[in-house]
Structure 1
Amino acid sequence: MSLPRIHVAAELVAGGELILPEAAARHVALVLRMRRGDTLTLFDGAGHEACATLVDVDRKRVAVQIDAVGAGQGESPLVVHLGQAISKGDRMDYAIQKAVELGVAAITPLYTAHGDVRLKGERQAKKLAHWQAVAASACEQCGRATLPPVHAPSSLADWLTGRDEALRLMLHPAAEHHGLDGDIPASAALLIGPEGGLSPTEVDAAREAGFSALSLGPRILRTETAPVVALSLLQFRFGDLRRA
């Protein structure tokens, strides 16, 4: 049975003690019902993880002794930046969760012409913090020690301006080929549109930014399903899901 994995945004030092943050402490004490002497794995989100032993556990305070620190595992050699059109409710959570499990390196939620979600001010800040927590939880589950950033929501135009990845793909049902030919790239950008699809103007802008169209077959996938399929194909063709 694998040890529980907990994300802590703190430096992990072998031999040191660490007080777990409130949410993590509550999870360890009340959900997992762990006790003094139990062991768990901590990771800092920057690629390091530690074996730790609980030395103090109560409802308000959980302290651990860090026994050993090492490099984490689970990172794909293919660095993928996902530009995901923002969708309502738990559909966006699902897209972020599964993208992290499939090894994405960064995620930017996007405002698009046909998207029906617009966030401002405090509402955007709260939603971003929630998405970052979803990503951290996915890392805890899947064994990654590097936490991929969920960037602040951006307009599609601004996101396209900053793209310099070796391979740039956008999902488009009218694509004439699958777009996964050629040599293995070091990095990739993947653009997923909203339920209504990218507008013709947005498709043209993406093409001008060096994006090729990627088709996932004859069926139209939901916006939260599309990144799961596309990232699986990318990781199988170019990343760490390749057959030996």
Structure 2
Amino acid sequence: MQRYFIDPGQIDGGAVVLLGEDARHLAAVMRARAGEKFIACDGSGRECLAEIVNIESGRVEGRIVSERASEAEMAWRVEVAQSLPKGDKLETVIQKGTEAGASAFLPFLSQRTVVQYDARKEAKRLERWRKIAKEAAEQAHRGIVPEVGEVASWKALLARFGGYDRVLLCYEEEGRSGAGLRPELETFARRPREGADPASRPSLLVVVGPEGGFDEAEARQAEAAGAVCVGLGRRILRTETAALVALAAIGYESGEMGEARHV
């Protein structure tokens, strides 16, 4: 069944409306007809099953049959900060990372970033990245569309570390020494959350470097800002692979694969 993320204002009482590209996709590409059903998500975790009652050019109207809260989100809120990689690798990180459960993506520039950043092209690229996140969220039956932030400087990224319960910097030197991700996740799962809102999800930021990784100075700066340097095993991973490996490990430890969920 087709799923679409829409603006909350497109859900009114017992009715929902698809507009623009979503409406054209359902009507022209999927050849939907009155009486058929689709799912509309408002991006905050609310899902509505709707029955089509009217189809017009660029507009599909539906009657809400039922509503429910999404059950597709991870127990922990995990965001990925990814140093800009070459080519279309960030698109892969966003697409696959969305499928794996990431809540947001924060592109940034670091010492060994190879890409020549062009601010004039950013708006167009950011629009494409966000479209990829939306389409991947629909495909993966997510309850939210992950946020994709504007490209930030290393200094600006460091300043954000205090907003998370834990920041994990993927650093290959830690992998060589055997200081892996697993012990940190086990500790994180057991930590007390005194004073925390019971309704809020624990938050993690996974920070991944560019093709050449982080230099030692950056690792020390990250630690000073509150991050923990972790390895992802003894093998050297491509930059577009690292975040996905970390997300899989986090998903397992948080109970994503069927164990009790740690909150």
Structure 1 and Structure 2 fold alike (TM over 0.5): yes
- The 2-side partners of 1:91 and 1:212 are apart by 25
CA distance in 2, matches of 1:110, 1:51: 38
Cα shift readout 1:147-195 (whole Å, capped 9, x = no counterpart): 2211111112211111122222111111031133214162211100111
What is the one-letter code of the residue matched to 1:195? E
Is residue 213 of structure 1 aligned with residue 229 of structure 2?
A: yes
SS at match of 1:180: helix
Aligned to 1:179: 181
Alignment of 1:1-244 (within 5 A): 3-11=1-9, 12-18=11-17, 20-58=18-56, 60-117=58-115, 118-121=117-120, 123-164=121-162, 165-175=164-174, 176=177, 177-181=179-183, 182-184=187-189, 186-241=202-257, 243=259
Q: 1:38 to 1:239 in 2, by over 3 A?
A: same
Query: Quick one: distance in 2 between partners of 1:83 and 1:203?
Result: 14
Aligned partner of residue 70 in structure 1, secondary structure: strand
Which deviates more from structure 2 when the two are superposed, residues 227-236 or residues 215-224? 215-224
Superposition deviation, residue 24 in structure 1: 0.7
RMSD: 1.9
Whole-angstrom distance in 1 between the partners of 2:29 and 2:131: 17
Work out whether residues 161 and 227 of structure 2, in 8 Å CA contact, stay in contact via their aligned partners in 1. Answer: no
SS at match of 2:25: helix
- Identity over aligned residues, as a percent? 31
Structure 2, unaligned stretches of length 5 or more?
Answer: 192-201
**For 2:13 and 2:88, how far apart are their aligned partners in 1?**
38
Partner Cα distance (1:167, 1:37) in 2: 48
2:231 partner amino acid: S
1:71, distance to aligned residue in structure 2 (A)? 1.6
Q: For the residues of structure 1 that align with 2:119 and 2:182, how far apart are their CA atoms?
A: 37
Question: Letter of the aligned partner of 1:39 in structure 2?
Answer: K
| Structure 1 residues without counterparts, runs of 5 or longer | none
Q: How far off its partner does 1:209 sit?
A: 1.3
Deviations along 1:13-71, whole A, 9 cap, x unmatched?
342242x2211112112222212211010101111110111222355333322333332
Equivalenced residues, count: 240
Deviates more, 1:231-240 or 1:76-85: 231-240
CA contact (8 A) 1:15 1:68 kept: no
Residue deviations 1:108-136 (CA, integer Å, cap 9, x gap): 11112221231313x21111111111111
Compare the two structures and name the one with the higher helix fraction.
2
Conserved in 1, the CA contact under 8 Å of 2:181 and 2:232?
A: no
Change in CA separation of 1:96 and 1:239 when aligned onto 2, cut-off 3 Å: farther
The residue identity in structure 1 corresponding to 2:12 is V
Quick one: structure 1 residues 190 and 32, their matched pair in 2 at CA, closer, same or farther if it must change by over 3 Å? same
SS of the aligned residue for 2:65 comes to strand
Letter of the structure 1 residue corresponding to residue 122 of structure 2:
Q
Q: TM-score, normalised by structure 1?
A: 0.90
Could you tell me how far apart the structure 1 residues matched to 2:16 and 2:205 are? 40
